[in-house]
Amino acid sequence: GIMIQLPIPRDFLRGRSKWELIDLIDPKKDIDGMVESSEFVSATVKGVMKILDVIARIRQPAETKQSQKQGVQTKWRILSQFDVSEIASPRRAGLAMTEINKFMNNIRVRFAPSPTGFLHIGSLRACLFDYLIAKTLGGKLILRIEDTDKKREVIGAVEGLINILDWVGIKFDEGPGSIVAAINGAQANINKDVGGFGPYTQSERVKIYKEQAERLLKKGAAYRCFCSEARLKEMRESQQAKKLPPRYDRACRNLSEGDMAKKLAKNEPFVVRQKMPLDGEIIAHDELRGDIKFAARDLDDQVLVKTDGLPTYQFASVVDDHLMQISHVLRGDEWIPSFPKNILLYQGFGWQPPKFIHLTLTLN
Ligand code: GLU
């Protein structure tokens, strides 16, 4: 069996007989509950659960029995990461619980599929990890639909997504009302978002991206590029012919205020590009791989907002992950080459990045 030694708050023991404590640990006497001293109680996991359950019940009277049990189990797992010996009084135990609740409230993991086809098995695998991390740490699982690539959108993809997630049995705590209701099988208001961080469908967030792009332009971390499609094509072809990597030549990066104003007055279409550092090294931290180093000279001034005003994945995902207070981003490792650009974007905004976990790809 598993033996766990849990220091019990002294005040909790005061005035209770040894038998009362054994009863508390093991009311059915089906486990070995044993009081070793007035300060320490050794018990099996079940006994520890019982004690945490008592503490949790005091803290959270509104919880239902089932979710309370799960909550207590999760709290125990999290508590084991804290220095339990620090808890020397019910007040300290209460503070620890407050800390744990705070910790759990801060765990927000998102699954962010694009409706560009049938849900890939690799995406589903990422979703399972999202679910496991969110639930192991007592946090929330959020569904976000990344539908800004209108050219690649496939009719019926969202329905396919609903069917698969419904079959897998994963439930979401937040997301677009109609989709979450269909997946969770709940009677939710299908016209309303579930959760307070919506809208959860990117095409409904265009105004937010516009505002954030303006902020980034003002901060000098991005610039407007008025280069025509024809010019960019010509540039790409000439780079290919010279066997150079395709890269924007930064022609608009240093446009004068006057030229810019003229172009804007003429309503010339533009994209917003990220201003990459010209030299140095960018370090991006992945929870599995540690620090990954990238040379700034290899980074392209990528497009953040397209001429139609829609954001690219690179921009929308950073803005949304920040505004939705996402704590962990799990995604395929095909995103590692652009990972430093994401980190630079967080820096440009002055935001703290979430924890990134890049998963190996599942091919076919
Ligand atoms: N929408 C992206 C995709 O489907 C999500 C990647 C991510 O999780 O950030 O590939």
pLDDT in tens, 1-48: 334 445 555 556 566 665 565 555 544 444 343 333 333 333 334 445
245-265, pLDDT tens digit by residue? 889 999 999 999 999 999 999
| Atom in ligand 1 nearest the alpha carbon of residue 331 | 8
Output the CA 310–ligand 1 centroid distance in Å.
16
What count of other Cβ atoms lies within 10 Å of the Cβ of residue 261?
Answer: 11
Q: Which of 142, 201, 313, 333 to mutate to test the pocket of ligand 1 (most atoms within 8 A of CB)?
A: 313
Residue-level pLDDT at 276:
97
Which atom in ligand 1 lies closest to the alpha carbon of residue 330?
8
What are the φ and ψ backbone dihedral angles of 85, each rounded to 5 degrees?
A: -65, -15
Please, are residues 340 and 282 in contact by the beta-carbon 8 Å criterion? yes
Distance (angstroms) between ligand 1 centre and the Cα of 34 equals 51
- From ligand 1's centre to the CA of 121, what distance in Å? 13
The listed range with the strongest mean pLDDT (44-53, 177-186, 219-228) is 219-228
Residue written as token pair 């659960």: 49
Separation of CA 128 from chain center: 13
Distance from C-alpha of 228 to C-alpha of 234, rounded to nearest angstrom: 10
Tell which atom from ligand 1 comes closest to the C-alpha of 146. Answer: 1
Q: How far is the CA of 114 from the centre of ligand 1 (A)?
A: 7
The answer to whether the CB of 148 falls within 8 A of the CB of 313 is yes
Contact between residue 97 and residue 298 where contact means Cβ atoms under 8 Å apart: no
How far, in Å, from the CA of 202 to the mean position of ligand 1?
12
Is 293 strand, coil or helix? Answer: strand
| First CA to last CA distance, the chain | 42
> Which candidate, 318, 335, 1, 280, places its Cα nearest to that of 144?
318
Residue 358: CB atoms within 10 A of its CB come to 21
Helix axes 18-25, 45-59, angle to 10 degrees: 90
Residue among 130, 321, 335, 343 to mutate when testing ligand 1 (max atoms within 8 A of CB): 335
User: Is the CB of residue 323 less than 8 Å from the CB of residue 197?
Assistant: yes
- Dist. CA 277–CA 295, nearest whole Å: 10
Mutate to test the pocket of ligand 1, among 110, 164, 331, 359 (most ligand atoms within 8 A of CB): 331
pTM of the predicted structure, to 2 decimals: 0.78
According to the model, what pLDDT value does residue 270 have?
A: 97
With bands split at pLDDT 50, 70 and 90, how would you rate the model's confidence at 328? very high
pLDDT classification of 51: cutoffs 50, 70, 90: low
For residue 344, give the amino acid letter.
L
pLDDT tens digits, 57-89: 544 444 455 666 666 666 666 655 554 444 444
pLDDT for the residue numbered 136: 82
Nearest C-alpha to atom 8 of ligand 1 is from which residue?
A: 331
Contact between residue 333 and residue 288 where contact means Cβ atoms under 8 Å apart: no
Residue that is written with structure tokens 């709290």 in the block: 75
Question: Which of ligand 1's atoms lies nearest the C-alpha of 321?
Answer: 9
Q: Can you read off the two tokens belonging to residue 349?
A: 């905004």
Ligand 1 atom nearest the C-alpha of 113 is 4
Q: Are 266 and 259 within 8 A, CB to CB? A: no
Give the confidence band of 196 by pLDDT, cuts at 50, 70, 90.
very high
Contacts of 153 (CB under 8 A, 6+ apart): 115, 116, 147
**Does residue 305 register a pLDDT over 90?**
yes
Residue 185 CA to ligand 1 center (angstroms) comes to: 24
**Mean residue pLDDT across the chain:** 81
Q: What is the DSSP letter of 194?
A: B
Q: Which residues line ligand 1 (CB under 6 A)?
A: 112-114, 146, 313, 317, 331
Question: Token pair of 41, please?
Answer: 């109680």
Q: Whose CA is nearest to atom 7 of ligand 1?
A: 331
Query: Rounded to the nearest whole angstrom, what is the distance from the C-alpha of residue 156 to the centroid of ligand 1?
Result: 18
Mutate to test the pocket of ligand 1, among 145, 164, 203, 317 (most ligand atoms within 8 A of CB): 317
Compute, in angstroms, the gap from residue 8 CA to the centroid of ligand 1: 45
Distance 119 CA to ligand 1 centre (A): 11
By DSSP bridging, strand 222-225 and strand 290-295 are unpaired
Average pLDDT in the 230-239 region?
93
Angstrom distance (rounded) from CA 354 to CA 322 = 8
